[in-house]
Amino acid sequence: MVQDNLKKVRERILKAAEKVGRNDRDIILVCVTKAVGVPQIEEAISAGATDIGESYIQAAEIKYAGIGHRAKWHLVGHLQTNKVKEAVKIFDLIHSVDSFKLAEEISKRSAALKAPKKVLIEVKTSEEATKFGVLPEHTLQLIEKISELKSIRVCGLMTMAPFTNDPETSRPYFHRLRKLASLISAKTMRNVKMEYLSMGMTQDFEVAIEEGANILRIGHAIFEA
């Protein structure tokens, strides 16, 4: 099942990329595994998956023990400062930095490991009260402050559009993130490079591709029948 689903998702990514003149090989597919265990992750890796996304540290520790470095690990859920010590040991890319306090702790823990950590800044492009993230109008100021930290590298932005059955309703949120990334790219800051736009999930990833996403976070379409 996972192999077939992964193939179908890749075909959809290719089609969406071709529609806007993009190369699908420039788009990273993160298989979000928060609802599945090691056997399903093993199946995905056997089918060619290279990037795994997890939302919770405790679950990630268990799965990482079984999978290790056979895939790159992405933290796609909210990160609390008291979980940073564990997170920096597992994850290659942290998608959910939304405060200087959190960034400072990541830099501190990464310095202890002598390995600067790559992160994305989570931006709250919608008005949903349940969403995490820094407001768009405060994002540049936050990144300027984080850029002074020695053991953290800001590599782009992440956002979550409101859940909807109509993918087109996600477009304004993705477009807003892309414009913000362009604005930040025009600035010269140490330890900052707008390399990645992490946006788009099962219900709206084709629209995200059209709006410039190069990291997709997809779970249901891969691991559910």
Instruction: Sketch out the chain's domains with CATH numbers.
Output: 2-223 (3.20.20.10)
Q: pTM of the prediction? A: 0.96
| pLDDT attached to residue 63 | 97
Mean pLDDT by 10 residues, the chain (225 residues): 96 98 97 93 96 96 96 97 97 98 98 97 90 95 98 98 93 98 96 98 97 97 86
Structure tokens at 103: 């960034």
| pLDDT attached to residue 225 | 60
